[in-house]
Structure 1
Amino acid sequence: MRQLIHAVTDGAGLPDHIQTKLLSLFPEIDAVCIREKGLSAQQLFTRLTGLIERGMPPEKLILHSSPDLVPFLPVLGVHFSEYDERLTPFKQKHPDKLAGRSVHSVSSAQKAEADGADYLYFGHVFATSSKKNLPGRGLDALRKVTESVAIPVIAIGGIDQSNIPAVREAGASGVAMISAFFNRKV
């Protein structure tokens, strides 16, 4: 089975150089999770419509915590944080859209699956600069989560080319990467 590859934006507000990077990446990845918590809904909508006008296929976009924009943008779906209870009503209203959730334990993974999630992000698997001073949960924790649910589990956190084989061996259906794609020095 082919490994899923998701890019997750870095929260920098979708500046032009990140948009340009996204436009170069989309042929090689399965989805882009737009994680821009610092933008208002209007700012996010404006930047996304501009990105789509520049050639980004909207069916590759997953909106992080922004289900209210789905009626206005033909995106792939929405990704929810671990304790966001909007996943179930979103999935009921939009059964044709993907709904994902971030999880950090077996119990959270099982709850997300029961709530109707189509996929999970589990992490952070390895130490990462986005979670300073917090050790990674590790491959054993990833394996336990992948074995506890029937939906795809996508590993996130400190993922790069060197450790993708290990997360796949631990049962991950794919990887989600932030800094591997969006290093701010670009």
Structure 2
Amino acid sequence: MIHAVTDGAGLPWYVQETILFIFQNVDAVCLREKQLSVKELSVKVAELIQQGVPPEKLILHSAPELAHFLPVRGVHFTEFDNRLAPFKKANSDKLAGQSVHSAASAQKAEADGADYLYFGHVFATKSKKDLPGRGLAALSEVAGAVSIPVIAIGGIHEGNISSVRRAGASGSAMISAFFK
């Protein structure tokens, strides 16, 4: 399982072009554009769909209110976002994911109805410059603590995907590999 996660640049034309180029080769594109207003994000998502990106490839990050209006695959939540459980209860047909940083958080997210988890950051990454990666042992612990897919994120690239799979990850989510 491979997820492309946008870089928070606001979905400018070059990011949209990248999404158009890669969507056939990834399982999902998580639109992590927290700085956009609900209206701005909905316009950008509609543009992507109009350009040919299948809505079932799109996951909205931190925007559950749009899932009622846009035919997207689902919504991804931050670790401390308490909207996951109510969202999943109201939208059983939509995918719900959550970012986690520990086995306890992973178990809570699973109990709240998450369909998958992002665990990270596994390796050192430019987006978290002053923080060391949590490592493969922590990834393995989280993957072993839940029965839902755990997708590794943070410093993931072609050269270390096999190591995260061996550590128990069901897949990888990447920002820089696609959008930098």
The TM-score, its normalising length taken from structure 1, stands at 0.96
Deviation at 1:172, TM superposition (A): 0.2
Q: In structure 2, what is the equivalent of residue 41 of structure 1?
A: 38
Distance 1:145 1:27 in 2: 29
Pair 1:98-2:95 in alignment:
yes
Matches within 5 A, 1:1-186: 4-183=1-180
Task: Provide the secondary structure at the position in 2 that maps to 1:109.
Answer: helix
Q: Deviations over 1:28-69 (max 9, x none)?
A: 000000000110000000111011101111110000000000
Distance 1:101 1:133 in 2: 23
Distance 1:137 1:131 in 2: 11
Task: Provide the secondary structure at the position in 2 that maps to 1:133.
Answer: coil
Task: Provide the secondary structure at the position in 1 that maps to 2:68.
Answer: helix
Distance 1:57 1:6 in 2: 14
Which structure 2 residue ranges, 5 or more long, are not aligned? none
Letter in 1 for 2:114: A
Distance 1:142 1:104 in 2: 9
Task: Provide the secondary structure at the position in 1 that maps to 2:67.
Answer: helix
Distance 2:104 2:52 in 1: 40
Structure 1 ranges of 4+ moved more than 3 A: none
Percent identity between the two aligned chains: 67
Q: Deviations over 1:51-105 (max 9, x none)?
A: 1101111110000000000111100000000010100000000000000000000
The TM-score, its normalising length taken from structure 2, stands at 0.99
Letter in 2 for 1:100: G
Distance 1:131 1:147 in 2: 25
Greater mean deviation of Cα atoms: 43-52 or 117-126: 43-52
Distance 1:51 1:76 in 2: 14
Letter in 2 for 1:127: A
Distance 2:15 2:34 in 1: 15
Deviation at 1:111, TM superposition (A): 0.5
Task: Provide the secondary structure at the position in 2 that maps to 1:175.
Answer: strand
Q: Deviations over 1:126-183 (max 9, x none)?
A: 0000111100000000000000000000000000000000000000000000000001
Distance 2:52 2:16 in 1: 10
Which structure 1 residue ranges, 5 or more long, are not aligned? none
